[in-house]
Structure 1
Amino acid sequence: MRNIQTENKTMENVTTEILENDFTTLQVMDWPMVQEYLQRCKYEESNHNIINMIMWLQTYPLFYYKKEEYLLLLGIHEGCFFMYMPLCEKQYIAEAIKKGKEIFDHYGHDFTLSCFTKEMVDEVIELYPEYTAIHESWADDYVYDGERLRTYAGKKMQKKRNHLNAFYKDYEGRWSYETLNETNIDDCIGYLRDWKSEDPDDFLQSERIGTFRILDLYNELPCKGGLIRIDGKVRAFAIGSMLSDRMCQENIEKADGDVRGLYQCIMKEMLSHEFPGIELVNREDDTGRENLRAAKLSYHPVSIIEKYRIKKGVES
């Protein structure tokens, strides 16, 4: 995710001719079409995930260019357009990137690409060696061993396991897990209305708005989730979705921070019930926030997916 205050201003000074003639504004109702193209590439990167896209659409508008072989997605950052990784099978990647550059060049825009993985950077540099990739570490994804998060087994997870066991002890007989469905969605929405509703953080409030959207559309979307009740009341919920055959993404995780072990419990229970056999879990980026970075590192990721911005003639 990018800087909220910057992004909220991005449409003010953008030349829209490229949108009027070649790209179409992505609407929530377009998600099945986008998902079909995502299935062709199965990128293991959090921004190329339909739940993520829908969740942040109000803050980060998207635009698309569609051909049978590929789908191009356009975003805006600091008043300038950029292109995401093309959604297509591997044999069409070069063709799709070339088409994106052709459109950018036609309208006089600097051809900029963002949210690109290292593998995809190599594809671009092979086509355009004069371009440079800039590592944006704040956008890197943290990837975890699925079984470790479902069990908290091993020495590395001792502290997390202690928190979890404290929760089990303190709330024995008082807590329960439920798979998220049409019978309890409204309870989650009610919980979210109160969850940090007065927090002045723009990013957090934008995230809340996006989470409301996902809950409203939950029964239509390709995602799964669960909630935890304590004494009958919702105190935590989490939602995830599939990125590839081996990796799921945890899109949303909300809990009462004053209940020790609750965050550990909702993640364990949701992954155990809804994604029991999945090898890897992508828990997204840290947005450059040190507290988030520390929290994500404390779960001992097995890998980091580096993200790059690609532009012509800049220092790396």
Structure 2
Amino acid sequence: MDLNDADFIPVSIQDIPLIQTYLLKAKYEESNHNIVNFFQWIKQYPLWKYTTEHYLLLLGVHKGKLFSYMPLCETQYFEEAILKDKSIFNQFNIPFELSCFTENEKDKVLSLLPMAYVTCEEDASDYVYEADKLRTLSGGKLQKRRNHYNAFLRNNEGHVSTEEITSLNKDEVKAFLASWKTDSNDEYFLYEKEGVFSILDLMGQLPCRGLLLRIDGEIKAFLIGTKSSERMVQINIEKADPMIRGLYQAIEVEYLKTFYTDAILVNREDDMGLESLRQAKRALDPLMMIHKYRLREHV
């Protein structure tokens, strides 16, 4: 499939305002449909766009297969966008494949394409939490995290400061990231870290906010998030010195108290199928899960 012939154009950083405009129209709360995620992974998972007045189609590639994300549009244009997307795939005689579709959008597609093959991407489900619980670490189920946080406050009283990530301190954050977990050679970890460097370079261009935490003037943690809907903040990137007890809890509490204070929900993304991460996210007492589906026109 020649994407140029199909009127798909490669996505670049110049498209950030365009994509964000259409994301706001769509009002999706699923973590993959997020401006920071798109550009954090764009080197490993390049994107192409097809733009009309009413909708924006995003095409991705995974393991050599092309797929489409949920169309970025207002609800009334969803059907029109899906049918156009399908016609482009059919034009080039390749199976129509959709990925990262949420329950409601999956059902809309099935009403149009009832014979589509559907699989639930179990390891990709997003964990969503009550924002106030994470701001205060209140409730019995968060007792262990509250203990870690209180220990951090006791052990570092008078030594902690926080500040927003800006062009003035961005290089310091990158230096901390470069030294963070340097012993890991896992391919996914290295790609993820490379993507974080890219996001730091785009701070100021992306509609996200970042907070760093210092102990005795030295950066020990940082967090970057976005407002994914009127009610939800998404935690995109979170790095901290793992040797400091309670530091992860501290940076998250401070972030949610500093930015997006009107958000009532927090999306902490998926667990990537990692048991340790799954246990940690479940221990945070999620309010709900956002399940995701892959649809194929042909099996």
TM-score interval (norm. to shorter): over 0.9
- Tell me the amino acid that sits aligned with residue 18 of structure 2: M
* 1:84 corresponds to which of 47, 53, 69: 69
Per the alignment, residue 142 of structure 1 pairs with 127
- Tell me the amino acid that sits aligned with residue 132 of structure 1: Y
* 2:200 corresponds to which of 186, 209, 215: 215
Which whole-Å CA distance do the structure 1 matches of 2:209 and 2:6 have between them?
37
Identity fraction in percent? 48
* 1:256 corresponds to which of 241, 257, 261: 241
Offset at 1:132? 2.5
Which whole-Å CA distance do the structure 2 matches of 1:150 and 1:210 have between them?
27
1:200 lines up with 2:181 in the alignment: no
1:130 lines up with 2:124 in the alignment: no
Which whole-Å CA distance do the structure 2 matches of 1:186 and 1:24 have between them?
32
Which whole-Å CA distance do the structure 1 matches of 2:48 and 2:216 have between them?
45
> 1:220 is paired with a residue of what secondary structure?
coil
Offset at 1:18? 3.2
* 2:153 corresponds to which of 156, 161, 168: 168
Alignment deviations for residues 214-251 of structure 1 (CA, whole Å, 9 cap, x no partner): 11110221001211111110000001001110001010
Per the alignment, residue 232 of structure 2 pairs with 247
> 2:272 is paired with a residue of what secondary structure?
coil
Which whole-Å CA distance do the structure 2 matches of 1:124 and 1:266 have between them?
40
TM-score, normalization: structure 2?
A: 0.97
TM-score, normalization: structure 1?
A: 0.92
- Tell me the amino acid that sits aligned with residue 306 of structure 1: H
> 2:243 is paired with a residue of what secondary structure?
coil
For the Cα contact (< 8 Å) 1:131–1:310, is it kept in 2? yes
Per the alignment, residue 259 of structure 2 pairs with 274
Alignment deviations for residues 24-61 of structure 1 (CA, whole Å, 9 cap, x no partner): 11112211111111111110011111111011101111
Which whole-Å CA distance do the structure 2 matches of 1:210 and 1:20 have between them?
29
> 2:256 is paired with a residue of what secondary structure?
helix
The aligned runs of 1:291-302 (5 Å cut-off) are 291-302=276-287
* 1:265 corresponds to which of 245, 250, 254: 250
Alignment deviations for residues 79-126 of structure 1 (CA, whole Å, 9 cap, x no partner): 111110000000000000000100000001100100000000110000
Per the alignment, residue 158 of structure 1 pairs with 143
- Tell me the amino acid that sits aligned with residue 128 of structure 2: V
- Tell me the amino acid that sits aligned with residue 237 of structure 1: F
Per the alignment, residue 12 of structure 1 pairs with none
For the Cα contact (< 8 Å) 2:164–2:211, is it kept in 1? yes
The aligned runs of 1:13-32 (5 Å cut-off) are 16-32=1-17
For the Cα contact (< 8 Å) 2:95–2:298, is it kept in 1? no
- Tell me the amino acid that sits aligned with residue 56 of structure 1: W
Quick check: 108-117 or 74-83, which moved more?
74-83
For the Cα contact (< 8 Å) 2:16–2:205, is it kept in 1? no
Which whole-Å CA distance do the structure 2 matches of 1:292 and 1:201 have between them?
16
| Aligned residues: CA RMSD | 1.1
Alignment deviations for residues 231-277 of structure 1 (CA, whole Å, 9 cap, x no partner): 11000000100111000101000001111000000011011101222
**Number of aligned positions between the proteins:** 299
Which whole-Å CA distance do the structure 1 matches of 2:169 and 2:297 have between them?
50
Per the alignment, residue 309 of structure 1 pairs with 294
Per the alignment, residue 269 of structure 2 pairs with 284
1:62 lines up with 2:42 in the alignment: no
Per the alignment, residue 187 of structure 1 pairs with 172
Per the alignment, residue 32 of structure 2 pairs with 47
> 1:21 is paired with a residue of what secondary structure?
coil
- Tell me the amino acid that sits aligned with residue 34 of structure 1: I
Offset at 1:313? 5.0
For the Cα contact (< 8 Å) 1:117–1:307, is it kept in 2? yes
Quick check: 18-27 or 55-64, which moved more?
18-27
Offset at 1:20? 4.0
Which whole-Å CA distance do the structure 2 matches of 1:47 and 1:131 have between them?
22
Q: Which runs of 5+ in 2 are unaligned?
A: none
Offset at 1:179? 2.0
> 1:205 is paired with a residue of what secondary structure?
helix
- Tell me the amino acid that sits aligned with residue 79 of structure 2: A
1:96 lines up with 2:81 in the alignment: yes
